[in-house]
Amino acid sequence: MNGGRLSRRRPLWLTVYAVLFVGFLYLPVLLLPLFSLNDSTIVAFPLQGFTLRWYGELGGSPQLITALWNSLTVGAVVSVLATVLGTLGAWAVTRYRLPGKPLAVGFIMLPIVAPLIVLAVAVFMLLVATGIELSLLTVGFGHLIVCLPFAFSVMTSRLESFDASLVRASRDLGEGRVQTLLRVVLPISLPGIVSSLLLTFTISFDEFVLSFFLTASDATLPVYVWSQLRFPERLPVVLALGSLILLGSCLLVGVGEWFRRRRQA
């Protein structure tokens, strides 16, 4: 671009700063896969040698498999529920003139700014007071509260750019309400829906505070990982698990991004 060519050469110190910044953010994360392949229970340099046995031990832990399964189930159910509710809310906010709209939006977005620990204690006390037993269901309920604002804001930004005359055009061209929803509204909102599903799933999957407070015996993966940290000899296994989750997240985000770009093109 012309503007770039005309501007001065960027100063060296900015480049150094940028490299340091990214390094500071991501180098610690890279230690995870590094030590997960290290043949020693002690997480420290120098490295002792290459091994895959920590990854092998992952499969041999039924508790871990159960925790993983719990997290996947809660994540799947919560992401779908949050996206459905978020979409409905976003539709109402972007399509209709509602009395008290700013207040309603404020309430929906509140869990993003409210400290999680306060939220967790509050929900915990509510459940105890009403005598509802702690289970994966209560964990899911907690996750729904924190996921909803994210689903809502993703869908609001998608639906804000949605041209209302498309719905009118569809009706004018002979399709009823349901067909208009299926043939126009849904396909156009799909990238937003996919983003929302991925985002809320990820949030639920690694949420710790609420899960810790709201679960009884069914641990989710983060709660399980935390419990394992008490046993130093299990640390490399946790690192192996962390590396796999990292890989999975990267794949998920990559797929989501690819899908989003393909849609925009």
When asked if residue 260 is in the footprint of other proteins (CB under 8 A), the reply is no
Residue 240: which of 43, 103, 44, 45 has the closest Cα? 43
Tokens at 155, concatenated: 């869908």
Q: Minimum CB separation from other proteins for residue 189, in Å? A: 10
**Contact code string over 137-166 relative to other proteins, x by CB under 8 A:** --------------------------x-xx
The stretch near other proteins (CB under 8 A) out of 8-16, 82-90, 176-184, 202-210 is 176-184
Q: Minimum CB separation from other proteins for residue 193, in Å? A: 13
When asked if residue 176 is in the footprint of other proteins (CB under 8 A), the reply is yes
DSSP states along 144-213: HHHHHHHHHHHHHHHHHTS-THHHHHHHHTT--HHHHIIIIIHHHHHHHHHHHHHHHHHHHHT--HHHHH
Q: Minimum CB separation from other proteins for residue 98, in Å? A: 16
Euclidean distance between CA atoms 52 and 121, whole angstroms: 40
Q: Which of 175, 194, 244, 246 binds other proteins (CB under 8 A)?
A: 175
**Main-chain phi, psi angles of 5, to 5 degrees:** -70, -35
The stretch near other proteins (CB under 8 A) out of 1-9, 37-45, 51-59, 172-180 is 172-180
Q: Which of 16, 88, 126, 169 binds other proteins (CB under 8 A)?
A: 169
**Alpha-carbon distances, residue 102 vs 69, 98, 130, 196, 224 (angstroms):** 39, 9, 31, 22, 40
Interface contacts to other proteins, rule CB under 8 A:
163, 165-166, 168-176, 183-184, 187-188
